Chains A and B, each alone.
Chain A
């Protein structure tokens, strides 16, 4: 995947990725980026800086919430956590993503 097309795909689905990551456990911004990279086995390399506007947007929409915490090695960091509304939103987004992907797949398989 070329860097440009990857960015396009990510722009639409960054919120979904963040919500999914936070559904596993609360973590800080850097941790979210790392998690996405690990889970996608390096296929998705999120532009690290663009993560923060997405986090702010999700927070002001009440889907996630944040508070200061301490990392394992004693560093102060802002930890993000999914709210109940965020969990519901994740379910809906996943569903519509799956429908979209299935549709796309069907078109691409057609001969």
Chain B
């Protein structure tokens, strides 16, 4: 059999399978039952409308941090600061929702979301400006900005938002929430909120931007080769800054939707939100394809939501899910080997077919 699947799907599919195999082997080594655990993972993620609702809700920030990472990557930058930008977005949306609570609901939601997205964009925009004008590596600056945002948000939550001695802000007013009765009734009171639809919609917008818009073309061009883009008359500096800005805007939007839809408040935390790094994994799996990100986010969200059931039904540590995630990305990273193996396999099949044909014609 020759692989009939579209070639861009082969590497992710092989990587996913290999990642699950690695997880299974590790479970076997430590005496856990992979079949039982993958079973509870599956039912935990999709075993009912409630689980499905939770999985979809969890996709929302993954999609947006992944899109953010993709935009920067397409422009040739490694924006490792998704976590910080997401956190700033979350913080921005909550503080605005709390501060302007006397505005009408629809307006409050819009400006809260915008505030979050803009704060996220500002955060990555700093890295963009430094890169464009000083050539400072965005890898380092975004990492540093991650930690600055962590300590800053902790400080701001404690000093500005939380009551004395408390570690969390009050909840946002109900009218600013993205949750709705319709979705809650549909999914047996899961935390699914309207932000999910926004996230999916944004995937299509980003696809259109990359593939059909002038500015998206320029962004990809700069990502491929700055010198050639300059030669073609593009404004490279402006494109770099725009790319980083959009990248953070998307991650910030993810934080805002999560803040208004999922958390409804913001708390002090001693580590950076993992979702920024998970978004990188989501994007890497499908090689930055905005539409592919929907499927990839579904997979990783299901792993996370389903993964929680693993430790409910057995004593397997839930971290096995993160190991599977990391393994999948490892196999994506070494796609050269996967492609080599597949092309060898296909060649073999081809030569087999040819010998069969020759034998046939020989008769």
A binds B: no
